[in-house]
Structure 1
Amino acid sequence: MAQQPEAARRVPLNRDRVLRAAVELADDTGIESLSMRRLAQELGVVPMALYKHVANKEQLLDGMVDTVVAEIEPPAGGRDWRSTVRRRILSARQVLLRHRWASRVLESRTAPTPAVLAYLDSMIGTFRDGGFSLDLTHHVMHAMGSRLMGFTQELFDDSGAAGQAAPPAGLDGLAAAYPRIAELAGAAAHDRESAVGRSCDDQFEFEFALDLLLDGFDRLHRQGWTSVPGPR
C-alpha cells in the first residue's frame, strides 16, 4: 500500500475504514504479513487506536471476511433457483479470486460471521423459494459445502508448492509406481487451443462440478426425493 497523504491520515478512523484497509493490505502483501501494528502504520495511527474498533486480530479477521462476503452479488429478482444459485456462486468465486487469502481465513473461522450467515440464509431461501423441501435443502447445503462460497479444496495440486512429495525417480518412476495417476495427468495436458488450456483450468473444473451438482439437485427436486425411507 502506498504512503498515505497527510489529508488521508486525518480522515476519522472508523470500523469500516479499518477493515477495508486490512483487506487492501492482505491483498497487497498477503495475509501472513497482516498484524495490528502493520495495519496501524498503514493507517497512520498508533496500534491502540485500532482496538476501539476491533478488539483483537481474530475480530479483525472476522470483519475482513464480512467485508469480502459483502462484495458477492446479491440475489436478483425474477430468476429461477438454478440460475440464481449459479450466478451467486460464480460471483463468490470471482470475489475470492480478487482476495486470494480469503478462502483460508474463511476456513479458519471457528463460527460463521454475520455476513456469511446472511449469505447462507439467502441461499437456503433461494432453494426453498424454488420449491425444495426442507429435507432436500438440508442435503443440498451439505453437498455444496465450501463450493457455496466459491472455493473447493483440490485433490491434485500442480503448483509445485514447497514440501510437496517428489515423484519417485522422476516421471518414469511416477508412471511405474502410479500408472493410473500418470495416465490421467497425461490426458489432462490439453492443447493451448482447447477450451481448458494446457493443464486443468480451475474455472472450467469449478463450473463443471457445479453444473453436475445443480443437475442432480434439479433431478431430485423433480422426483420429489426424500431421505426418509418410505414404507417397505
Structure 2
Amino acid sequence: MLVWERPEPPDRPTPAPLSRDRIVGAAIRLADEDGLEAVSLRKVAAVLGVGPMRLYGYLATKEELLDLMVDAVHAEIRPSGDGWREVLRSLADATRRAAHRHEWFADLIGGRPHLGPHTLAGGEAVAAGLDGVGLDLAVPAIAAVNAYVVGAVRREITERRAERTTGMDKEQWQAAYGPYLMRTFATGRYPALAAVVRDGPHPDPDEAFRTGLDFLLDGIEARTPR
C-alpha cells in the first residue's frame, strides 16, 4: 500500500505530537535552507524533538518522505485559465515559481510520475483545461510543456547555485571570461557563434523563459484544429 493510502497512526498523548504534515513541513524547511542533502529522517526527527524511530509509524523510507515533499509543493501549483494556452502557460509559470521558492524541487521533478493527491489535482486541472483539443494533441502538448519547464528551471537553478558556489554573478563571470572569448573569436574559427554572442539578444531569465514558452505554445497552436 502506497504512503498516500496508508492511514496515519492514532494520536498519542506525547510532548511532541506528530503527523505526516508536520514531518513533511520540517523536511521542507530543512531542504529550503540547506538543500536535499540536509534531509534525513534523523535530522527531521531532531527538528521535531522526537526520536527517529517515531517517524517510521508515518512513513517507511526516505523515498516516501521525498514523495510527500514533492506533493506538498504541488499544492502551490494550481493551473488555471480560459482556454488551453492559458492553462499551459499557468502550469509553466506556477511550476517555475514553486521551483524558485524550493530549489530542491527542481532536482526531483521530471523523472517518474508523482502520484500524490495534490499532484493529481493539478494534473486534473490541466487535463480539464485541454479537454476540448482532443487527447491526441493534449497528451503530447502537456508532456512538451512539462519537459520545457523542467529543463529551463533546472538550468536557472544550476546557475543560481553556481553563483553561490563561485561567488560570481553573471556580470562578474562575463568580465572574467569575456577576454578569453574575444581572443578565441578573433581567430575566425567560430564566426557564427561569434555573431550570436556579439550581436544576438541577451534577455534576462524571465524574458528568456517567456519567449521559449511562446515558441512552444505557438508550435502547439499550429497543430490545433481550426
User: Please, what TM-score do these two structures have when normalized by structure 1?
Assistant: 0.71
- The separation in 2 between residues aligned to 1:113 and 1:64, in whole angstroms, is 12
- Range that drifts further, 97-106 or 109-118: 109-118
Q: 2:193 aligns with which of 163, 171, 181?
A: 181
Q: 1:171 aligns with which of 181, 184, 189?
A: 181
Question: Gaps spanning 5+ residues in structure 2: where?
Answer: 1-13, 166-176
- The separation in 1 between residues aligned to 2:39 and 2:112, in whole angstroms, is 19
Q: Deviations over 1:65-114 (max 9, x none)?
A: 000011113536xx23322332232122111110011011124x544232
Aligned 8 A contact 2:45 2:51 in 1: yes
Q: Aligned residue pairs: how many?
A: 198
Structure 2 residue 134 is matched with structure 1 residue 133: yes
Structure 2 residue 226 is matched with structure 1 residue 220: no
Structure 2 residue 42 is matched with structure 1 residue 37: yes
Aligned 8 A contact 2:92 2:149 in 1: yes
User: Please, what TM-score do these two structures have when normalized by structure 2?
Assistant: 0.73
- The separation in 2 between residues aligned to 1:182 and 1:71, in whole angstroms, is 42
Change (3 A) 1:160 1:85: closer
Q: Deviations over 1:16-40 (max 9, x none)?
A: 1101111111001111221111111
Give 2:75's aligned amino acid.
Answer: A
Give 1:187's aligned amino acid.
Answer: D
Q: Deviations over 1:51-71 (max 9, x none)?
A: 111211110100000000111
Q: Deviations over 1:136-158 (max 9, x none)?
A: 11321232233466954549x76
- Range that drifts further, 209-218 or 24-33: 209-218
Aligned 8 A contact 1:174 1:182 in 2: no
Residue of structure 2 in register with 1:100 after alignment: 103
Give 2:204's aligned amino acid.
Answer: D
Runs of 4+ aligned structure 1 residues displaced above 6 Å come to 157-160
Higher percent of residues as helix? 2
Residue of structure 1 in register with 2:74 after alignment: 69
Aligned 8 A contact 1:140 1:217 in 2: yes
Aligned 8 A contact 1:93 1:150 in 2: no
Change (3 A) 1:174 1:64: farther
Change (3 A) 1:116 1:160: closer
Residue 213 of structure 1, CA deviation: 2.0
- The separation in 1 between residues aligned to 2:161 and 2:33, in whole angstroms, is 23
1:1-232 map, 5 Å: 10-75=15-80, 79-107=82-110, 109-114=111-116, 115-128=118-131, 131-147=132-148, 151-154=152-155, 161=162, 170-175=180-185, 176=187, 177-187=189-199, 200-223=203-226
Question: Gaps spanning 5+ residues in structure 1: where?
Answer: 1-8, 191-198, 224-232
Aligned 8 A contact 1:22 1:39 in 2: yes
Identity of aligned residues (%): 33
